[in-house]
Each structure stands twice: as C-alpha cells, then as structure tokens.
C-alpha cells in the first residue's frame, strides 16, 4: 500500500488535498495522470452501461435536491454512525470500528442505546488508536448527511439545511417518470449516472478507499415485480464479468460477498469484493431493492409513481435492482492490480503499471533519440502531432532512452516510439512494448492501424 501511495504522489496520480495548507482530511485531488485514469474508468463504465446497452439511458442529476428527498430515503433519520471521543486526547473514533478491534461487530441498524450497551461491555479492553489510553465517552450517533446553507439566506441554515447528496441514486428515482415521458424506454430499463456524493465519515481511512467527498457510478434498473430476481441474476453476471473483461482485473482478486443482514425491504444484496492491499473489501454493491424507493417517494411527494404498461395497460410500482460502485475504489483496485515490481537483474528493478491498455492514462509516448538534433526532434513532433488527436500522447526528449522508458513504465504507457537517425532514412520508428519490453521497427505509415488494433 505504501508503495502505491508513494507512486501516486510522485507520478501525479493522487495528491492529498490542500497540501500547502497542511492538508484537508479525507479528501484527495487527482493529478495529471490520475484525472486521465479516472476519466478512462468513467468512460469504460459509461460505455458498458449506457452506450452498449439499448435498455439503459444516462442521467446527470444535481448534487443538491429538495430536502424532503432525504426524509423519504430514510437518510435523515437513519443514516448515522456511532461516535465516541477519547477523554484523554479528544480523538473521535467510530465505535463500530473500535469494537471490530476486539472482534465484536455492531450492526449499523442498532440504536444509540443498543450500541452503548455493547460498547460498555467491551470498552475496557479497547485502546484509543491515537493515544493508547482507554477512556472513552458514551457513543453518540452522528448523521452522515452533509448540511449546507445553499439557498438559505436568513435564519439558521443548520435548522433548515440543504443537504449534499449522500448517494447519487436518489436523483435517479425522483427523475424516473421524466425519463419515461421524454424518451422511448420500455420496461425493463435502467438509468445510469456518474456523479459526486458526500458523507460525513467520522474516520476516513485507507487512502482513496473511503473519502468524505467521492464519486459514484450507479445504475438503477427498473423491472416488473415478477422479473426482479431474474434481472438481478443477469445483472450479477454482467457486473462481475465487467471487471475481468472491460477493466482487465485479475479474477483471483475478485469475489462475491453476500450480506448477512438484509434490510427489511431488500430481496438480495451481494457485494463484489476486491483484494485490496488491506484485504478483501467492497468494491461494488449489487442489490435487489424491491419497490421500496419508489414507494417512499410516492408517499412523501404525494405523486403517482406507478408505471403504466403501454401494451397491457397494467399499472405497477417498478421494482429496482442496482449496481453501485465508487470511482475512487475502482481506481484503487485498478492501481493495485496494475502495480508490478520486476527484478530485471542484480540491483535493477523496474516499477511498471500494467494497466489494461484502454485505461492507461497515456497511450503512446514519442521520443526523439537526441534532443539536440533538430531533424530528430521535428520528425518526432510530426509523429506526435499525427497521433495526438486520436490518443492521449506524451512527448519526452529528456534523458537517455532507458530512463524515458522507465518513466513511462511507472505511469503505465503501453507503447513508446523512438525516432532515431534511421527513421530519417527508412520511415520506421522503434516501438517498445511496456509489458514485454520488446522493441521492434514499425513503419510510421502503419502506426495508425497498428494502434487502432491494439488500443480500441
């Protein structure tokens, strides 16, 4: 994990937020290569979810919504974590995390009293993760929804707050009728969306795995009640395969985990887990939610949210199955899966990010052999200009070729092209493969079709 974090900072994938101001906890910035990787991850998801699927359309709902939506969803009353403060050093910790340290597991649906009962039994064995003392305050439930004063110009904004969404899917539920009315979707169909969400996590941990500001990729699939479980099984297969086929994740690092306690309305809940450096943890949730979400919104909005089948005339509240995954978590899985240290010889190790080629931030790097030979530089720039509108390319004329290869290996560039003196004679460049490190000569005129075959 430390190696990945260090590479991320050193090579411009991920920076801690507000570093020059001493940092801002539990929030990260994506640097020049990080944003390209994140964009490619979002594009791969969108392509599989929306573009390749006739039955799924996209949406981009806003972060701010009517506060009543969060009452309907249950987030205002039920979306909270138990917090305790160390009386010695005043560090606040999540009580369920403290209990995990002594192998006691608190259920997230427990009331404050229930949590305190268990906590009281075990707290003497638990030490503060910060100072090591064992002197905790009572557990207090803290709501995870982030409150703001957007649109509130008078009075106390904390009494009548606007909420930053805690999940993106609510924007899908409340828009589903708009989508039916403005497009040609027919049941069953899905609505997919990528966007930021926010949770006031008490302790954010494990780098970009759990952050207070994060980006979700969610798809809600609406079905006739009778078809919910059939569609659910199909979605499960699709989503697991996606990581292997579309993102190139090693399938040994993926597994299913079934939720032990289902919320009362859920029909089924499985997570796809990835083997992160800190163990198997949730990457994506695939859940069958029955008609709970639309029932709640119909009740709280007073609107009829039933779907009327245009063929049969049957009216019903659609059941919903969902696929929900974070961009940050996917990125951490992709980074973990790609990271390789190869021993090339005594005291010669290379770090190479073996990204799936479609996800690689830079697809092609172009080098003139020597930077002080104008004829090489101008030829290399010609090749670079030919490719740059089609692929994300990088031009590098600094240092010896071996060093430049290693720099590109660290950011996972699949192909490096070198323009040398022979190029000026034979119209060929040296193409070097990231994974095999093999070098071959290829005609410049054939580059486009070669790259199209390998990269698209």
Segment 385-444, which members bind a second copy (CB under 8 A)? 388-389, 392, 395-396, 398
Quick one: which of 76, 174, 197, 417 contacts a second copy (CB under 8 A)?
A: 174
Give least dist CB 72 to a second copy, A. 9
Q: Between residue 196 and residue 215, which ones bind a second copy under the rule CB under 8 A?
A: 196, 198, 200, 202, 212-213
Tokens 């969803």 locate to: 73
Rank residues 220 and 273 by Cβ distance to a second copy and give the closer one: 220
Interaction of residue 100 with a second copy, rule CB under 8 A: no
Mapped onto helix, strand or coil, the DSSP state of residue 249 is coil
Residue 201 CB, shortest distance to a second copy, in Å, is 9
One character per residue 109-128, x = contact with a second copy (rule: CB under 8 A): --------------------
Binding mask 46-75 for a second copy (x = CB under 8 A): xx---xx-x--xxxxxxxxxx-xx------
With beta carbons less than 8 A apart as the criterion, state whether 171 and 58 touch: no
Does 297 bind a second copy (CB under 8 A)? Our answer is yes
Give residue for tokens 């190479």.
352
Helices (DSSP H) in 341-456: which residue ranges? 374-388, 401-411, 421-426, 447-455
Which one of residues 134, 246, 295, 301 is an interface residue with a second copy (CB under 8 A)? Answer: 301
Cβ within 8 Å of residue 2, ≥6 positions away: none
Nearest approach, Cβ of residue 365 and a second copy (Å): 11
| C-beta of 180 vs 272, nearer to a second copy | 180
Pick one of 1, 150, 237, 262: the residue that binds a second copy (CB under 8 A).
150
Q: Rule CB under 8 A: which of 304-343 touch a second copy?
A: 305
> Per-residue x/- marks for a second copy, 154-173, CB under 8 A?
x-xxx-----x------x--
Q: Are 195 and 168 in contact (CB under 8 A)?
A: yes
245-252: which pairs have CB atoms within 8 A and are 24 or more residues apart? 246/44, 246/47, 246/48, 246/358, 247/41, 247/44, 247/330, 247/334, 247/356, 247/359, 248/337, 248/355, 248/356, 248/358, 248/359, 249/274, 249/333, 249/334, 249/337, 250/337
User: Residue for token digits 């009386």?
Assistant: 87
Report the alpha-carbon distance of residue 305 to residue 179 in Å, rounded.
12
Q: Which of 5, 17, 114, 238 binds a second copy (CB under 8 A)?
A: 17
* Binder among 111, 183, 378, 448 for a second copy (CB under 8 A): 183
Q: Which three-class secondary structure state does DSSP give residue 129?
A: coil
Contacts of 7 (CB under 8 A, 6+ apart): 13, 339, 351, 353, 410
State which of residues 77, 124, 130, 149 lies at the interface with a second copy (CB under 8 A).
149
C-alpha 361/C-alpha 351 separation (Å) is 16
Contact range with a second copy by CB under 8 A, out of 251-259, 299-307, 314-322, 335-343: 299-307
280 binds a second copy (CB under 8 A): no
Non-local CB neighbours of 285 within 8 Å, separated by 6+ positions? 269, 270, 271, 272, 322, 323, 324, 325
Q: Please report whether residue 96 would count as binding a second copy according to CB under 8 A.
A: no
Strands 364-368 and 393-395: parallel
| Nearest distance, CB of residue 6 and a second copy, angstroms | 11
User: Is residue 370 part of the contact set for a second copy (CB under 8 A)?
Assistant: no
Interface with a second copy includes 5 (CB under 8 A)? no
* Separation CA 73–CA 55 (nearest Å): 26
Q: Looking at 188-196, 226-234, 242-250, 277-285, which segment touches a second copy (CB under 8 A)?
A: 188-196
- Looking at the Cβ atoms of 24 and 280, the one nearer to a second copy is 24
Structure tokens at 290: 């029955």
* Angstrom distance (rounded) from CA 331 to CA 41: 7
CB of residue 303 to a second copy, shortest distance in Å: 5
């Amino acid at each position: 994990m430390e190696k990945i974090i260090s590479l991320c900072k050193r090579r411009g994938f991920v920076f801690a937020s507000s570093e020059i101001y001493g940092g801002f906890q539990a929030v990260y910035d994506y640097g020049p290569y990080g944003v390209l990787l994140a964009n490619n991850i979002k594009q791969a998801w969108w392509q599989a979810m929306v573009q390749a699927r006739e039955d799924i359309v996209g949406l981009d709902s806003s972060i701010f919504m009517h506060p009543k939506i969060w009452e309907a969803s249950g987030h205002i009353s039920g979306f909270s974590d138990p917090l305790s403060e160390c009386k010695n050093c005043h560090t606040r910790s999540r009580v369920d995390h403290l209990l995990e340290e002594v192998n006691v597991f608190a259920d997230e649906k427990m009331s404050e009293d229930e949590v305190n009962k268990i906590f009281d039994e075990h707290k003497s064995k638990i030490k503060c993760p910060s100072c090591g003392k064992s002197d905790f305050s009572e557990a207090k439930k803290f709501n995870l929804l982030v409150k703001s004063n957007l649109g509130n110009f008078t009075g106390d904004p904390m009494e009548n707050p606007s909420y930053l969404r805690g999940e993106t899917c609510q924007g899908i539920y409340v828009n589903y009728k708009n989508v039916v009315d403005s497009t040609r979707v027919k049941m069953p169909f899905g609505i997919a969306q990528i966007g930021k969400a926010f949770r006031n996590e008490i302790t954010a941990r494990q780098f970009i795995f759990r952050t207070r500001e994060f980006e979700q990729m969610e798809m809600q699939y609406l079905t006739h009640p009778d078809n919910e479980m059939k569609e659910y099984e199909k979605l499960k297969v699709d989503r697991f395969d996606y990581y292997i086929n579309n993102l190139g994740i090693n399938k040994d690092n993926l597994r299913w985990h079934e939720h032990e306690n289902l919320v009362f309305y859920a029909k089924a809940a499985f997570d796809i887990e990835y083997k992160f450096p800190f163990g198997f943890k949730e990457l994506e949730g695939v859940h069958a939610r029955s008609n709970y979400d639309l029932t709640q919104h119909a009740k709280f909005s007073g609107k009829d949210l039933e779907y009327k089948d245009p063929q049969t005339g049957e009216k019903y509240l659609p059941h919903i199955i969902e696929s929900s995954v974070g961009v940050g978590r996917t990125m951490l899985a992709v980074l973990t899966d790609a990271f390789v240290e190869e021993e090339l010889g005594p005291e010669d190790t290379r770090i190479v990010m073996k990204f799936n080629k479609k996800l690689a931030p830079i697809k092609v790097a172009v080098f003139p052999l020597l930077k002080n030979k104008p004829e090489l530089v101008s030829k290399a720039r010609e090749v670079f200009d030919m490719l740059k509108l089609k692929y994300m390319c990088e031009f590098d004329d600094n240092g010896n070729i071996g060093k430049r290869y290693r720099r590109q290996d660290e950011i996972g560039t699949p192909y490096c092209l070198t323009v040398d003196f022979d190029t000026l004679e034979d119209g060929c460049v040296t193409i070097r493969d990231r994974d095999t490190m093999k070098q071959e000569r290829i005609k410049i005129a054939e580059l486009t079709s070669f790259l199209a075959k390998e990269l698209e």
